[in-house]
Amino acid sequence: MSPHSSTRRTPEYPSRPNPPNSAATTTTLPSRPSSTYPSTSYSTSTNLPPPQPYPILPNNSFDLVKPCPIDGKCALPYCFCSPNGLGIPGDLRTSETPQMVIITYEGAITDRIINIFKSLFNGKFKNPNGCAIKGTFFISHEWNNYDQVQWLFSTGHEIGVNSIT
């Protein structure tokens, strides 16, 4: 049989059953002449909810931090209020207080998320030595904006890579 023959055989594979309680969808590819390609359909199933869009935030999106409640119902670990931002929570002594906050992000740097980082790392927050705070970003390739990653790196942030698999 020649490789250009119109009676091309393909092996038949049993289809996998869908897991119980899952939404199954079947998509059929656009039809092509049967002499060229066999018809193919794909089945996917998922238990995940539909993806939600990222919120679009203004450049000065530091309004995400909610003010302390006036009624005094602020309690650790969900809330900590300090009039000047320098108070130590939980009646800890200075020598017992952690002196490090780690800021990391894992995923793609997109045009939607970069404004949050620009407002967080705008120089307003500083370490005790007077240097601006920095973050570590573990980026993945999919949907990543490499111009934004270069901006983060050029302003002194650490960049790591994260795999899709």
Query: What token pair was written down for 89?
Result: 């929570």
HEC string for the chain: CCCCCCCCCCCCCCCCCCCCCCEEEEEECCCCCCCCCCCCEEEEEECCCCCCCCCCCCCCHHHHCCCCCCCCCCCCCCCCCCCCCCCCHHHCCHHHCCCCCCCEEECCCCCCCHHHHHHHCCCCCECCCCCECCCEEEECCCCCCHHHHHHHHHCCCEEEECCCC
pLDDT of residue 39: 47
Percent of the chain at pLDDT above 70?
A: 48
Q: pLDDT, tens digit, for every residue of 104-146?
A: 888 999 998 999 999 999 989 888 778 888 999 999 988 999 9
Q: Provide the pLDDT confidence category of residue 93 given band limits of 50, 70 and 90.
A: confident
What's the pTM? 0.42
Residue tagged 């119109």 (tokens): 6
